[in-house]
Copies of this chain bind each other. A is one copy, B any other.
Amino acid sequence: MPTYTPPLRDMQFVIHEVLNATDELKALPKHADIDADTINAVLEEGGKFASEVTFPLNITGDTEGCKLDAKTHEVKTPTGFKDAYAKYVEGGWPALSCDPEYGGQGLPFVLNQCFYEMLNSANQAWTMYPGLSHGAYEALHAHGTDEQKKTYLPKLVSGEWTGTMCLTEPHCGTDLGLLRTKAEPQADGTYKLTGNKIFISAGEHDMTANIVHLVLARLPDAPQGSKGISLFVVPKYNVKADGSLGERNGIYCGGLEHKMGIHGNATAQLVLEGAVGSLVGEPNKGLAAMFVMMNAARLGVGNQSLGLTEVAYQNALAYAKDRLQMRALSGPKAKDKPADPIIVHPDVRKMLLTAKAYAEGGRAMAIYCTLLLDKELYHPDEKVRKESAEMVALLTPIVKAFLTDNGHISTNACMQVFGGHGFIKEWGMEQFVRDNRINMIYEGTNTIQSLDLLGRKILGNQGATLKKFGKLVAQLVEEEGVNEQMAEFINPVAYLGDQMTKFTTEIGFKAFQNPDEVGGAAVDYLRVAGHLVFGYFWARMAQVALREIAAGNTDPFYKAKLQTARFYFARLFPETATLMRTARSGVKVLLDTEEALA
């Protein structure tokens, strides 16, 4: 059976030592009172909840799955899921970073980020039930009427109800412009919705008295395509004026999907038969409102893979130290034992370090990104708010796609460390691989993320935001340019930054001639961008470690950090050599394939 220890030390390292987040947050009037002790205390309690309450339900949840009662349309979640959710509500966890006006604790997003990383390590399927509520909360908070806010936000914040995002239909996932669900305006100002939604995560369950569905649909007079989509809030039970629950609404679970992973989460087919809803935001502007949810969800999905990478690493490390098999090529290391622990083998170390480097790099990037979210919303200076928003927009597709692809690489590597036992369910490793696999797909496939990055976020503003990230790299080079010890970490990043600048200009010209060139280069480009960002954070982490060691700090944590940074630059970062080459090879070789793909 797998184990999980919350990586509190590493989170604190990123928050306090690398990003100096407490000072950054104190500069925001909203968080003027935050201090390191509060942050650490919340993380510690959050880690306890994840490791003690939801982690023990991970394998059983996968084995049991969810059960739909075809008569009542009610879904039974796996044993223990409901109780764990009750404890989650009791602990006040849903409110962590929510608006105090609706009962939230108003703590920084950085805390919610770290808490959710731990929840995802512990049990991704369970975590999606409360996780989806955040998107519904954000959409209503940003675009809801006062009445909608009053009706729904306090219940979402307390966790009494959960939320969902109802976008996909059988014939449309990526291309929401094709969606067919209809919303008919009623005399009383409400709408009646009719249609079929699929792939609705946490779409039905037995954890809460009500479920708040955010549903994309078309008004009768709506223009075709994506400009004719509106957003509605459709509760499972209608809500009376006094806030109590009324009649069952016409939105039912018609089936549950049988999936590769996240078995503990109900992936629902939802049938809307004249379900009563109210409009959120403006008519035909639903996609914009939906993107508030979607951007939060994309960061959330990257965080799911970060969590799985960490827990897979921890278990593979423990196994590699324990499992005796063969001798080191350079001669026996554990002479008193019948064989050496497999951690003596260089390739086993490579697999472990791959997961470790991706987990720690991902953690630094994700925390940095949520710190920017706090600044985007609450910094007193409008320019900082705007720049933070732009940087979050740039980093979001990278967090989503790079972290989930890295999760795929890492969970598979960690499973491989277990040999044949990795393939066996009881060890838990293959579940991490299966659960992670959806993260590369949902909330916009990783291909879609790459098009968003290269097409919209980079070429869309002539590389302006990318240049701002380049300035951070340049600043680090300036700070440490004379420090010989830093050269091995800074030089590759600086070199890659130059290459990317050139390539971005090139691809801009090529795309001007043929827009398909973007599609031929984007996926490789995103991975290069991911390494640029990771390289930058690994250099910054190495900088802190070198500084501490120079100051006489003997905590082995810093030596470990340097070793992992060296591994990252020697073994993972060089992937960019191939990616730059393939991204540059052009789209002709892909499109001139009529006969090959006949």
Contacts and interface: CB of A to CB of B under 8 A. Distances in A.
A141 interface: no
Contacts of A172: 325
A198 to B, nearest CB: 8
A257 interface: yes
Interface stretch (A50-58, A274-282, A425-433, A473-481): A425-433
Given A589-B571, A591-B349, A598-B556, A420 B515 contact: no
A437 B434 CA distance: 11
A346 B593 CA distance: 10
Given A416-B447, A577-B578, 20 more contacts: A174-B325, A174-B419, A175-B339, A258-B426, A259-B424, A260-B424, A343-B597, A345-B519, A347-B519, A350-B520, A353-B590, A430-B437, A434-B434, A556-B598, A564-B596, A567-B589, A567-B593, A571-B590, A577-B581, A578-B578
17 contacts: A173-B325, A173-B420, A175-B324, A259-B424, A259-B425, A260-B430, A329-B519, A330-B515, A347-B519, A353-B590, A416-B440, A420-B442, A557-B595, A564-B593, A566-B589, A571-B585, A575-B578
A114 to B, nearest CB: 21
A597 B349 contact: yes
Nearest to A571: B582
Closest 7 CB pairs of A and B: A346-B519, A260-B430, A560-B595, A346-B520, A563-B596, A329-B515, A560-B596
Contacts of A441: 416, 419-420, 422-423
Given A338-B178, A347-B523, A596-B564, A437 B420 contact: no
Interface string A366-396: 0000000000000000000000000000000
B520 A257 contact: no
B564 A585 contact: no
- Max chain B CB contacts within 10 Å: which of A346, A574, A592? A346
Contacts of A567: 589-590, 593, 596
A587 B560 CA distance: 17
A564 B446 CA distance: 24
A326 interface: yes
Given A260-B425, A450-B347, A593-B349, A598 B420 contact: no
Contacts of A585: 570-571, 574
Interface string A182-225: 00000000000000001100000000000000000000000000
B516 A330 contact: yes
Nearest to A514: B330
Assembly stoichiometry (copies): 2
A339 B225 CA distance: 10
Contacts of A331: 515
Interface in A250-268: 257-261
A284 interface: no
A559 B424 CA distance: 44
Nearest to A357: B596
A104 to B, nearest CB: 32
Given A325-B173, A419-B174, A430-B437, A447 B345 contact: yes
A438 interface: yes
A430 B442 CA distance: 15
Contact of A434 (B260, B451, B560): B260
Contacts of A329: 451, 455, 515-516, 518-519
- Max chain B CB contacts within 10 Å: which of A168, A520, A561, A586? A520
A317 interface: yes
Interface residues of A, number: 99
Interface string A319-331: 0100011101111
A173 B323 CA distance: 11
A309 B578 CA distance: 23
A317 B425 CA distance: 32
A409 to B, nearest CB: 11
Contact of A346 (B175, B320, B587): B587
A236 interface: no
A589 B577 contact: no
A352 interface: yes
A507 to B, nearest CB: 13
A557 B576 CA distance: 34
A412 interface: yes
A424 B447 CA distance: 19
Contact of A445 (B168, B177, B328, B419): B419
A556 B598 CA distance: 9
B563 A592 contact: yes
A367 B348 CA distance: 32
A166 interface: no
Contacts of A520: 346-347, 350
A356 interface: yes
B597 A328 contact: no
Contact of A595 (B563, B570, B591, B595): B563
B597 A570 contact: no
A238 to B, nearest CB: 30
Contacts of A173: 325, 419-420
A408 interface: yes
B523 A260 contact: no
A440 B574 CA distance: 24
Nearest to A260: B430
Contact of A589 (B356, B424, B570): B570
B433 A437 contact: yes
A311 interface: no
A539 interface: no
